[in-house]
Chains A and B, each alone.
Chain A
């Protein structure tokens, strides 16, 4: 905290932090000095001059945005002379300005015009000249429109793009009065603009406006604004949805509030359209004679209850299983797991986390005692070394990436470990590009370098690592063989570069690691993360402010679903299902006999399908998941799902999975939901309903309780979501201090033990959450992959995500804006491979693995290594998971989506 100083503005005595921006100080104290170019998120520009004030001791009028508050300052913000100067200036600005106003945005300039009476032409000195200036309009972007005649060159958009989003797409073209803003070299569409719309949100005059619903919106008439949490990735951006006539017409970032502080990505700003798409499910459907027919809720729910009960009676509780959902709220997930545990009577509940960060969480739980990210998203801003392992953060967590870019601008270094180019490479200091599946060797090499160059933190090892220097010695001995040459031979990464990366990481003060799917979705996923943690522990780069290990989560409630116990292994708050004492405690809260709760671990996501294939699981309840796209080895999944006796899918759309359902239930979408979710930095965030569910669609938790009730098994009676939360925070000790009221303004990071606790920004500061409070080293050797390229399958295929689409794309592909940016499947192939095998850009190809095949088109790109390929997995017409394996990581049961041996053939 900087020192407080005293100053006076218009005779008002004010206290402010020393060096604070004077304009902002005035604003914070209710003195609204007119301004246009200033925005508190941006560095001051000093271009518009509207914020002029008089400061005792300074000559003339000075722009308050360019002045820092000082002790004893005596400021005049309003007097006749200043007001006259402002009016004169507005008059000036208006003369080059197109004043047409269609009401679909807030026009700060127009407000000032009215305030100074300049709407009356008689009060004006300067005739309008904007028409003769022939300002251009850039209409080329899929999502926005720039009209230079409405632009006052305040630079907010440019700075929004540069300073807030770190994208540097916008610039200023031409000179003097003919100058205007351009995207890239000229046209927005051809620029690197990715449509995040930060510029739209910060434009004060409507020169940049968004295209969707532009004609309908009138900001002064009938707009309701509802704050909620973005439905896409795990950043948990706070959105302000604009609702008009029961329809969402705009989505803005909520300023001043964590985690996004007003920032959004293209999906958060333009991806809401799916919620009101005509394809939404509006009524329960029952499959009769192979066809779905509309049914009443009673009919559907009774059928479900009856079928599940029959299966349970006939084959026992473990013949039933449920897929919970990272796309629903904590309250929904909590009740779903309760349904499985109480009504089904087993622990066969899991969800897509098993497909993404299961290995990370497993390794972290074993080594550190907690599977969640140790730090806050904002910490990237102040980190001096950011290591990204298999994490395409700009595309998968675009708003977190803005903090990363700020950190870079402040001098932080970026190291990337990824076999495939990601957009962050442009910002990186070092890019290590290991061959697919060789990460453990690379990390062991780095660990050896750190040990050999004595960059370890001996004190930390002795105090905070289980077994101290003895355990360290074992690691040291194991990694000794990973010499730079040896590592280079395995990974293809130049030894020097690997060593340099190790040094930067080990020497940093506040290094952060963000690990992603590239690391976790491998047969060796848990080993990968063990190695990573080994490196953290021996360097002491965890357990202090601003340093640690973070697995950014892919969906808005992957974190929460695990937190609340939608897991075959743990109860709410990560307490193992095998913990009898806890089961006793929870049984009381739930009002059920302790004995009725199964103390055996349940089946995990992929295991459930395998059990179905083996005929052990007969009935499956799927809430908001789409395994027919997201599961590995889809042909096998298809066989399995077909074998199931009874399948319920509860979703908002027909998906690739619904054809295999017996009953389809229409659920509420994100903008219809009340409740909470947890983002990647353990922040519990509120969802607020903005619109009503379509047709007969119902809230997930309501459906779940109904199913339980009709199975004659109460999982509780609740009037609303807050009542569920109140119970949940008793069941999960990490949430004890969090209530809905506290969440209205800000999210709170768990653990939060009591209602006065502010939440926990950094984990492991004093101890780890392992039984003895110490971190555990798990020395692991590099192991060759069982799946290898060979003569029949000469390429290794990697898969992943892109910015504009999302997961199985049931949501993202129902947004025209997003589809305009990207809507076609492809496979990336290195140009040397393309030349060697005579493939051309755009060639139609068939890709085949031992498991299956698909068709797509070639994109020649050196973003992949020779011999490796990459495909986005979003497109069901080219389902990558036809090719992937269901051979699982032995510890975490995660599937190796990132490595499949394939061959590529031209399709004639």
Chain B
């Protein structure tokens, strides 16, 4: 009988859900009870909604447990480890059992996330055991020329996963064709979209795949140094990257004549970003690495021609690079089997918002939004009505329910006015006000604008002012026209992607939900009952018991009524704080 293995998911999401304590509890009981099971760490497998996750592997098979809070550890050890009786009520999936939640994995194809949640990210041997560094070894063994590698990347059809969607192979080719004594590879790990955590999960779960991707790129374009620009808010990712780089150096995978390829010297350094969203833009990112303030530069010249310290530079994001070893190892054809005509392969999405199964999914291009939300995502929380999905973060746009048959590929998503972006997918239900959502994203871009381009700097502020006043019932008839006018000038005359896309959330919500804006402006009403200033709170006389809880709680004394009498809310005093609504135990307060 072989040893039982317990693997605890210790990504940032797991740790946030208490997985660290769960791990310690397993360890504590193992020591006090002198138990002989192996305790290992892994990272996130994407199922955020059931964290902490623990996988137990024994002779009878693999069991994935969800919601393993510290209090449940004892029970699982007692029953499963000591007595081989799996605790079925916590099991999400095992070889002969699939809970409803396990449908989350159905339809996913794990290429980028092939190792996430399946190995200890701090153990290089485990990476190598899962075909890690085999792509580089293949290049070395078969003496594959740099141009051939680039051709493979071109043939795979992979497009930049950071949002731009530019064919990665083309970028590599440009960088290769620009001759220079020094070239650089940059991994853009400055994931800044609210609600996006694809890159973080990859870095935390499979750092070596990113390093290997960078090294392949370095070999292909003729670079000798790589920089990973990672936001400082990702301390675990940085820690694991550092460990991985150190391991790769020790093993000679970084340094001189890497993988025995004569003349191929490669080093990787980490540069921590200081949290500016605009540094995700490639020229701003380069400026930041150079020690300048992270502000976009004019293109051309493009980085492939004159990038970091004016040398040819190739920048890809984390997700793109993590795919590269798989593509090179398995061949372009295997990758191109997935996806659509113009969008090959798979894409990772971070599902968040009003969805039952929030988490990280990897799906083949061409799947519909509906399938992602209902099949993988388990539908809308509390069975509310699905309203729209925001794709591409603050640079992206809103896709309404009636377009949910839209397939996920670059062309189809762009046709809606949204963008694929880096993969943030925020799901909204009927209680989400789209004006408020647009305001949220614009508030974000307005604050993150570097301040250089006039229209972006001032225009986003002015748009935010208008949106704010609309949500406060002060909107004017002309506001929609002004918003569109401002939006178009900002898009047209900004230097970088931030400005060029900042108005997208506003433009798409106006496009698909114009009547909702009009309701705010003309009727001073928020149909989603979300914008507080536009709400009225009323007492439902039939339900009110006169308990006075609401009146006592009201901070502005806007509720009158004697004990055991039906209360009344004075609308001219009410500040729509909503306290009465939450205080009432009899659901006697109505919103309208």
Chains A and B are bound partners:
yes
Binding site for B on A (CB under 8 A): 44-49, 52, 60-61, 66, 88-89, 92-93, 95-96, 126, 129, 152-153, 155, 171-172, 174-179
Residue numbers in B under 8 Å from A153 (CB-CB): 451-452, 454, 457
- Closest Cβ of chain A to B157, distance in Å, is 28
Task: Flag if B453 contacts A47 (CB, 8 Å).
Answer: yes
Residue numbers in A under 8 Å from B461 (CB-CB): 96, 129, 176-177
Task: Flag if B451 contacts A176 (CB, 8 Å).
Answer: yes
Residue numbers in A under 8 Å from B278 (CB-CB): 175
Residue numbers in B under 8 Å from A89 (CB-CB): 454-455
Residue numbers in A under 8 Å from B454 (CB-CB): 47-49, 89, 92-93, 152-153
Does B293 belong to the interface (CB within 8 Å)? yes
Task: Flag if B449 contacts A175 (CB, 8 Å).
Answer: yes
CA distance A175 to B295 in the complex (A): 10
Asked whether A95 and B446 contact (CB < 8 A) given A47-B452, A89-B454, A179-B451, the answer is no
CA distance A126 to B454 in the complex (A): 14
Does B211 belong to the interface (CB within 8 Å)? no
Give the nearest-CB partner of A90 in chain B: B454
CA distance A66 to B297 in the complex (A): 12
Task: From the candidates A49, A155, A176, name the one contacting B460 in the complex (CB within 8 A).
Answer: A176
Task: Flag if A155 contacts B452 (CB, 8 Å).
Answer: yes
Give the nearest-CB partner of A45 in chain B: B452
Does B492 belong to the interface (CB within 8 Å)? yes
CA distance A126 to B298 in the complex (A): 28
For chain B, the bracket of interface size reads 20 to 34
- Closest Cβ of chain A to B536, distance in Å, is 30
Asked whether A46 and B495 contact (CB < 8 A) given A175-B276, A175-B449, A177-B451, the answer is yes
Task: Flag if B448 contacts A175 (CB, 8 Å).
Answer: yes
CA distance A653 to B349 in the complex (A): 79
CA distance A307 to B125 in the complex (A): 101
> Besides the contacts A172-B450, A172-B452, A179-B451, what 19 more A-B pairs have beta carbons closer than 8 Å?
A44-B298, A45-B452, A47-B454, A48-B454, A60-B492, A89-B454, A92-B455, A92-B459, A92-B462, A95-B458, A152-B454, A171-B293, A172-B295, A175-B449, A175-B450, A176-B449, A177-B457, A177-B458, A177-B460
Give the nearest-CB partner of A97 in chain B: B458
Does B592 belong to the interface (CB within 8 Å)? no
Residue numbers in B under 8 Å from A61 (CB-CB): 492-493
Most buried by A among B276, B448, B452: B452
CA distance A60 to B446 in the complex (A): 25
Give the nearest-CB partner of A153 in chain B: B451
- Closest Cβ of chain B to A231, distance in Å, is 37
Task: Flag if B459 contacts A176 (CB, 8 Å).
Answer: no
Give the nearest-CB partner of B493 in chain A: A49
Contact digits for B435-455, partner A, Cβ 8 Å, 1 yes 0 no: 000000000001111111111
Contact digits for B485-518, partner A, Cβ 8 Å, 1 yes 0 no: 0000100110100000000000000000000000
Give the nearest-CB partner of B453 in chain A: A47
Contact digits for B32-71, partner A, Cβ 8 Å, 1 yes 0 no: 0000000000000000000000000000000000000000
Contact digits for B251-282, partner A, Cβ 8 Å, 1 yes 0 no: 00000000000000000000000001010000
- 22 of the cross-chain contacts (CB-CB < 8 Å) are A45-B452, A49-B453, A49-B454, A60-B492, A61-B493, A93-B454, A93-B458, A96-B458, A126-B462, A152-B454, A153-B452, A153-B454, A155-B452, A172-B293, A172-B450, A174-B451, A175-B447, A176-B460, A176-B461, A177-B457, A177-B458, A177-B461
Residue numbers in A under 8 Å from B465 (CB-CB): 129
CA distance A95 to B463 in the complex (A): 13
Interface of B is mostly: helix
Task: From the candidates A60, A88, A175, name the one contacting B451 in the complex (CB within 8 A).
Answer: A175
Task: Flag if B448 contacts A176 (CB, 8 Å).
Answer: yes
CA distance A178 to B489 in the complex (A): 20
Residue numbers in B under 8 Å from A175 (CB-CB): 276, 278, 447-451
Task: From the candidates A45, A46, A66, A179, name the one contacting B457 in the complex (CB within 8 A).
Answer: A179
Residue numbers in A under 8 Å from B453 (CB-CB): 46-47, 49
Give the nearest-CB partner of B462 in chain A: A126
Task: Flag if A172 contacts B451 (CB, 8 Å).
Answer: yes
Residue numbers in A under 8 Å from B293 (CB-CB): 171-172
Residue numbers in A under 8 Å from B493 (CB-CB): 49, 52, 61
- Closest Cβ of chain A to B508, distance in Å, is 22
Residue numbers in A under 8 Å from B451 (CB-CB): 153, 172, 174-179
CA distance A502 to B458 in the complex (A): 55
- Closest Cβ of chain B to A184, distance in Å, is 13
Give the nearest-CB partner of A168 in chain B: B292
CA distance A358 to B452 in the complex (A): 52
CA distance A52 to B493 in the complex (A): 10
- Closest Cβ of chain A to B121, distance in Å, is 33
Task: Flag if B492 contacts A179 (CB, 8 Å).
Answer: no
Contact digits for B289-324, partner A, Cβ 8 Å, 1 yes 0 no: 000010100100000000000000000000000000
- Closest Cβ of chain B to A91, distance in Å, is 10
Give the nearest-CB partner of A50 in chain B: B454
- Closest Cβ of chain B to A401, distance in Å, is 22
Give the nearest-CB partner of B295 in chain A: A172
Give the nearest-CB partner of B450 in chain A: A175
Task: From the candidates A45, A48, A126, A176, name the one contacting B446 in the complex (CB within 8 A).
Answer: A176
CA distance A88 to B485 in the complex (A): 11
Give the nearest-CB partner of A96 in chain B: B458
Residue numbers in A under 8 Å from B448 (CB-CB): 175-176
Most buried by B among A52, A95, A153, A171: A153
CA distance A179 to B447 in the complex (A): 10
- Closest Cβ of chain A to B423, distance in Å, is 25
Residue numbers in A under 8 Å from B457 (CB-CB): 96, 153, 176-177, 179
CA distance A48 to B453 in the complex (A): 7
CA distance A66 to B300 in the complex (A): 10
Most buried by B among A61, A126, A152, A176: A176
Query: Which B187-236 residues have a C-beta within 8 angstroms of A?
Result: none
- Closest Cβ of chain A to B134, distance in Å, is 42
- Closest Cβ of chain B to A280, distance in Å, is 47
- Closest Cβ of chain B to A114, distance in Å, is 19
Residue numbers in B under 8 Å from A176 (CB-CB): 446-451, 457, 460-461
- Closest Cβ of chain A to B143, distance in Å, is 37
- Closest Cβ of chain B to A121, distance in Å, is 17
Give the nearest-CB partner of A152 in chain B: B454
CA distance A815 to B266 in the complex (A): 57
- Closest Cβ of chain A to B4, distance in Å, is 52
Q: Give the top 4 A-B pairs by smallest Cβ distance, nearest first.
A: A179-B451, A176-B449, A177-B461, A49-B493
CA distance A61 to B492 in the complex (A): 9
- Closest Cβ of chain A to B395, distance in Å, is 15
Residue numbers in B under 8 Å from A88 (CB-CB): 489
CA distance A156 to B488 in the complex (A): 27
Residue numbers in A under 8 Å from B450 (CB-CB): 172, 175-176, 179
- Closest Cβ of chain B to A136, distance in Å, is 14
Give the nearest-CB partner of B276 in chain A: A175
CA distance A49 to B493 in the complex (A): 7
Most buried by A among B449, B453, B459, B493: B493
Residue numbers in A under 8 Å from B276 (CB-CB): 175
Residue numbers in B under 8 Å from A52 (CB-CB): 493
CA distance A49 to B453 in the complex (A): 8
Residue numbers in B under 8 Å from A66 (CB-CB): 298
Residue numbers in B under 8 Å from A93 (CB-CB): 454, 458
Residue numbers in B under 8 Å from A92 (CB-CB): 454-455, 458-459, 462
CA distance A47 to B489 in the complex (A): 13
CA distance A695 to B395 in the complex (A): 71
CA distance A489 to B377 in the complex (A): 77
CA distance A152 to B458 in the complex (A): 10
- Closest Cβ of chain B to A662, distance in Å, is 62
Give the nearest-CB partner of A52 in chain B: B493
- Closest Cβ of chain A to B81, distance in Å, is 52
- Closest Cβ of chain B to A694, distance in Å, is 49
Give the nearest-CB partner of B452 in chain A: A47
Residue numbers in B under 8 Å from A172 (CB-CB): 293, 295, 450-452
CA distance A138 to B489 in the complex (A): 32
